[in-house]
Amino acid sequence: MREKYLGQNYLGENGEETFYSYVKLITIVTVIIAILLAVWFWGLTILSNLDAFWRIFNPNQEAVVSQNKENIPPPYINPFETATKEKKITVKGYSLEGVLVKLFLNDKENGSVRTDKEGAFSFFNVELNEGLNNLHVVAESGGGVESLPSKSISIKYLKTAPKIEIIEPTDRASFSQKDNTITIRGRTDPSAIVAINGQKALVTSDGTFSYLFPLNDGDNKITVEAADEAGNKTTVEKTVIFSRTF
């Protein structure tokens, strides 16, 4: 009877230990699950803000440059003629005080100068290419950050004067007629401006022109001038003789 009682008591103690073992195991598992859930939750939050987190400790250079560009206003180039017959020109403008201004000619860097106390800059003897030239400038701060480009300015370098040909009348031609008006016809560059004795003549898209010219008795000097937008000029002179008939 004592053995039976002792045996039951032994089994009871063993069952109690087993019960506490299960409780400990469940507690440990619960804690681990709670930790995993917390890590998972905060991990998602960290991952979702990883880009912002990365920018805080490792700023993206492009974003910083873009922001700084907005802090440096684009420089300004003073306007000039749209065409010139001079191969070298002066480019002036203004920006912030003390910044380095870079000049670009047809998208190639042409030179750099630093602005004065008033923010003004000047590029002297800028050599143009024949034909169309596009210029813009960029300002650079002491930290090497550049502004956005300025507004592009275009200028044509035209070194050759337009050609001109007088089709009629011929030089020293004689006119004996009742009407004292003749037609002068010629040909030049389509973009040229033609003036006959100071009066503008219409030039068509193929470069031809005509003009009704009144004659006086005797010798009449006719001066035909063709000019381009840069101021290059070609002049042809002819003399015709007129006598009125009645």
Please give the pLDDT value at position 73.
Answer: 95
Confidence of residue 44 (pLDDT cuts 50, 70, 90): very low
Q: Among 43-52, 79-88, 143-152, whose mean pLDDT is lowest?
A: 43-52
pLDDT for residue 77 is more than 80: yes
Residue 6 has pLDDT above 50, yes or no: no
**Mean pLDDT of the 138-149 span:** 92
More confident residue, 173 or 31: 173
Residue 43: predicted pLDDT: 58
Question: pTM of the full predicted structure?
Answer: 0.66
Average pLDDT, the chain: 85
Q: Residue 50: CB partners within 8 Å, gap ≥ 6?
A: none
Q: How confident is the model at residue 70 (pLDDT cuts 50, 70, 90)?
A: low
Among 46-50, 86-90, 197-201, 219-223, the least confident range: 46-50
For 179-185, what is the mean pLDDT? Answer: 95
Please count the residues of the chain.
246
Q: What percent of the chain has pLDDT over 90?
A: 67
Average pLDDT of span 58-78: 64
